[in-house]
A and B are shown apart, each in its own frame.
Chain A
Amino acid sequence: QVQLQESGPGLVKPSETLSLICSVSGGSIRSTSYYWAWIRQPPGKGPEWIGSIYYSGSTYYNPSLKSQVTISVDTSKNQFSLRMNSVTAADTAVYYCARTSGSNFYWGQGTLVTVSS
Chain B
Amino acid sequence: QSALTQPASVSGSPGQSITISCTGTSSDVGGYNYVSWYQQHPGKAPKLMIYDVSNRPSGVSNRFSGSKSGNTASLTISGLQAEDEADYYCSSFTSSTTWVFGGGTKLTVL
Q: Which A residues form the contact surface with B (CB < 8 A)?
A: 37, 45-49, 52, 60-64, 96, 102-110
Contacts and interface: CB of A to CB of B under 8 A. Distances in A.
Interface residues of B, number: 28
Nearest to A37: B99
Nearest to B87: A46
Interface string B85-110: 00001011100111111111000000
A49 B48 contact: no
Contacts of A62: 1, 98
Nearest to B37: A103
Interface of B: 1, 3, 34-36, 38, 45-48, 51-53, 55, 57, 89, 91-93, 96-104
Contacts of B52: 102-104
Nearest to B53: A103
Given A103-B52, A103-B91, A104-B57, A46 B45 contact: no
A104 B48 contact: yes
